[in-house]
Every structure is written in structure tokens, then in C-alpha cells.
């Protein structure tokens, strides 16, 4: 169950409940982070719809209207399930005091979400990336001051995010194989003599782009940081944690998680080639809840980052997904990592799909091998 399919389903239920035109129903992204436990997702359409219905609602308070609209939408979802609409057959559909529709997915619906997320471009933007043109990319070392390189990187990220969700199909995305090599760290560069160039020669392009896109203000204060030892404007003399190849560096951590996820899938193929056949396993969706909920919110996050033109929204989302994936892969004390990949391969495939696509939109490479 993807966010777009769920939005379309709840929209259809609202149309049936109130006999209104589709154009009169606002688009509201379903969100996992707004759902009440144990639901998988919540849709905040009823509160948004109250104002559109006007005189169709009886006199009363707004909170009563929200609950009434929510109840009628839920009744239509249940009715569609009884009519055999497969997408409407949830484990549970309920309302809450906010008037939000909370939905608990079935096991196949959860699995469908993970499998859809493995195709990161299509999952995040709702279409294949098969258009013409080139992705915006600026040579950061051509900037003089670090602040100028920061503006270049943020402009690139905004343009790439806008291109991904725009009306014209975007060009193809990430390549199949990407190495850890960095154009600024792996070669002698005699032209790295500006402050921006010297910084790139110390921390590399990928760490620089993440550092530049991670904060909100367009004109950050001097010595401003976005976390412990993570300067908004690092320099060659004071690079902070951006120079480290450790978890202290968010850029390294996200790129490592992508490489680990794809390596897990290769481990799985190697193990199955020796054991023969797919293993019979139980449902493991209770163990991957945090990762799955973050994956579900990805399309809405990208849409918000594009609408607000704020790349830091995408950066922080990718960091949260990385943390959830790291927690998932380290959570078991009885299974080694290759075994976990064999038992639940949909998780690393989905994380790799979304994480790799998100990094690409920031202009950051996502290594495919450890």
C-alpha cells in the first residue's frame, strides 16, 4: 500500500460519501508519522474537507463536523471492502479525536509498500524517470568563498528536486554501480586554491553537498552548526566532523547505509546459491515497523521539500531513514546480518531504493559496495 494508492482510495471514499466533484477534494498526503498506534498511516482529509462542504453539514461545532465527516468516509471504505475492492481491505480502519482516518495495513499491503519502495524513483515521484535532458550539476570548486559553493550546491539540489516532481518526466537517475571515489579527494588538483576548492580537497564533494544542504537559513551565522562538530560553513582549516569517515559524519553514514543495503542483497544471493531455494519465513513486519513507516512518508517528504524549496527537509528525512535502517540491522542478537537479509530482503532493497534516489537528488553519490 503506497501513499498515492491510499490517497486515491480515501479520496474515492469521500467522493462517494458526499457526492462531490474530485476537484473539490483537497489533496492530502497520508502520513505514517501522524498515525495513532497501532495504525500504519493516517489521512487528515476530514478536517480539510469540512470547510469545502459548507451548508451540507448540520449546524454544530467544527470538532463534531470533523468526526462526522471522518465517520462517513470510514463507512465508505468499509463498504468498498465489502464490494471486493482489494485496496480497501484493511486490517482496521478507525477515526480519532482529530478527525483523522487511521488505517492498519494487512501483511500483503505492508509487503507491497516495501516492494514498491525498491524502485526509488517511481515510488518517490509516482512515475519512471525516462525523460530527456540533464540533471543540474555545478562544479563547486569554481566558487570562490565557501558561502558561494554552498549557494551552488543548494541551487543544484532545489533544481534537481523540482525536476523530479515536475510536470515533465525527468531524465534517468542513478547508475547501477557507483564507487567511493571522489573527484576532489582521489587526484591531485592544482586548481583547488580558493577557500571553496581547498575545502573540497579536504572533505570531498559529497560531504560538502550534504553539509551545505543540511541547514535551513540561506545566510547562516558565523560559526553556526547543525549538530555536534558539524559546521554549516566548514573550511579547509576547520572541517569539523565532515572530514571523518565515521558515523559522526551524516554524509558518510547515509552513503554507507546505501552500500550496506545493496551488499546485504548480494550476501543473500550468495547464501541462497549455496543452500538452494527461498527459505520459508514468518511475517517479520513487527520488526521493521520504524523503517517501513519512514519509507511510507518518503513521497510526501519529497513533495514538501519541492514545494517549500528547502533541501534540508530531504536531508533530515534521509538521515532518519538511515538511523532506522541501522537500528533494524543491529537489532537482533541471534542472527548475523547476512541471515537477516535472507529472512527479510525487502527491507534493504527498499532502503537502498529510497536512500539512493534521495542522495542523487542532492547531487550526492551513493556507493553500491562496502
CA distances to 69, 73, 238, 257, 297 from 11, in Å: 12, 9, 52, 36, 18
Of 235, 246, 272, the residue nearest 326 (C-alpha): 246
130: pLDDT strictly greater than 70 = yes
* Domain span including residue 158: 140-243
The DSSP H or E segment spanning 333 is none
Same domain, 219 and 270: no
273 pLDDT band, cuts 50/70/90, is confident
Examine the domain organization and report whether 297 and 228 are in the same domain.
no
Q: Which helix (H) or strand (E) holds 93?
A: strand 92-95
Tell me if 114 is assigned to some domain. Answer: no
Shared domain for 293 and 355, answered yes or no, is yes
DSSP classification of residue 97: T
Residue 69 is assigned to a structural domain of this protein: yes
Residue 256 has pLDDT above 90, yes or no: yes
Q: What's 73's domain CATH number?
A: 3.30.1360
Of 243, 261, 292, the residue that ends a domain is 243
pLDDT number for residue 338: 63
CA distance 43 to 11: 10
Looking at the domain assignment, is residue 123 inside a domain?
no
Q: What are phi and psi of 95, to 5 degrees?
A: -105, 165
Q: Does residue 119 lie within any of the structural domains?
A: no
pLDDT in tens, 218-243: 999 888 999 999 999 999 999 999 99
Residues 9 and 98 in one domain: yes
- Which residue, of 192, 216, 243, is where some domain finishes? 243
Structural contact between residues 181 and 366, judged by C-beta atoms closer than 8 angstroms: no
> Helices 250-275 and 311-330, interaxial angle, to 10°?
40
Q: Which of 56, 84, 105 is the last residue of a domain?
A: 105
Q: Do both 236 and 294 map to the same domain?
A: no
pLDDT of 56 above 80: no
pLDDT (0 to 100) of residue 343: 72
What pTM does this model have? Answer: 0.94
Amino acid at each position: 500500500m503506497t501513499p498515492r494508492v491510499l490517497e486515491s482510495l480515501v479520496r474515492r471514499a469521500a467522493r462517494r460519501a458526499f457526492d462531490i466533484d474530485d476537484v473539490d477534494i483537497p489533496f492530502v498526503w497520508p502520513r505514517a508519522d501522524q498515525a495513532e498506534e497501532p495504525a500504519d498511516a493516517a489521512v487528515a482529509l476530514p478536517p480539510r474537507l469540512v470547510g469545502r462542504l459548507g451548508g451540507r453539514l448540520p449546524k454544530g461545532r467544527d470538532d463534531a463536523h470533523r468526526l462526522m465527516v471522518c465517520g462517513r468516509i470510514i463507512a465508505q471504505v468499509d463498504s468498498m471492502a465489502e464490494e471486493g475492492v482489494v485496496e480497501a481491505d484493511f486490517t482496521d480502519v478507525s477515526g480519532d479525536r482529530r478527525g483523522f482516518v487511521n488505517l492498519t495495513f494487512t501483511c500483503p499491503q505492508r509487503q507491497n509498500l516495501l516492494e514498491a519502495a525498491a524502485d526509488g524513483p517511481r515510488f518517490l515521484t509516482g512515475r519512471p524517470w525516462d525523460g530527456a535532458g540533464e540533471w543540474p550539476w555545478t562544479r563547486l570548486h569554481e566558487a570562490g568563498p565557501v558561502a558561494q559553493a554552498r549557494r551552488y550546491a543548494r541551487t543544484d539540489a532545489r533544481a534537481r528536486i523540482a525536476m523530479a516532481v515536475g510536470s515533465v518526466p525527468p531524465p534517468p537517475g542513478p547508475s547501477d554501480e557507483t564507487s567511493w571515489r571522489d573527484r576532489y579527494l582521489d587526484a591531485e588538483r592544482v586548481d583547488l586554491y580558493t577557500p571553496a576548492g581547498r575545502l573540497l580537497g579536504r572533505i570531498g564533494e559529497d560531504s560538502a553537498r550534504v553539509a551545505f544542504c543540511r541547514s535551513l537559513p540561506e545566510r547562516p551565522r558565523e560559526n553556526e552548526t547543525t549538530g555536534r562538530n558539524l559546521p554549516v560553513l566548514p573550511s579547509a582549516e576547520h572541517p569539523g566532523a565532515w572530514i571523518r569517515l565515521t558515523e559522526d559524519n551524516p554524509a558518510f553514514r547515509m552513503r554507507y547505509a546505501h552500500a550496506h543495503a545493496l551488499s546485504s542483497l548480494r550476501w543473500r544471493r550468495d547464501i541462497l546459491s549455496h543452500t538452494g531455494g527461498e527459505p520459508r519465513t514468518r511475517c517479520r513486519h513487527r520488526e521493521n515497523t520504524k523503517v517501513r513507516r519512514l519509507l511510507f512518508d518518503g513521497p510526501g517528504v519529497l513533495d514538501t521539500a519541492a514545494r517549500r524549496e528547502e533541501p534540508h527537509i530531504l536531508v533530515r528525512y534521509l538521515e532518519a531513514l538511515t538511523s532506522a535502517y541501522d537500528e533494524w540491522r543491529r537489532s537482533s542478537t541471534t542472527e548475523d546480518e547476512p541471515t537477516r537479509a535472507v529472512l527479510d530482503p525487502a527491507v534493504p532493497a527498499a532502503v537502498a531504493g529510497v536512500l539512493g534516489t534521495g542522495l542523487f537528488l542532492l547531487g550526492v553519490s551513493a556507493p553500491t559496495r562496502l
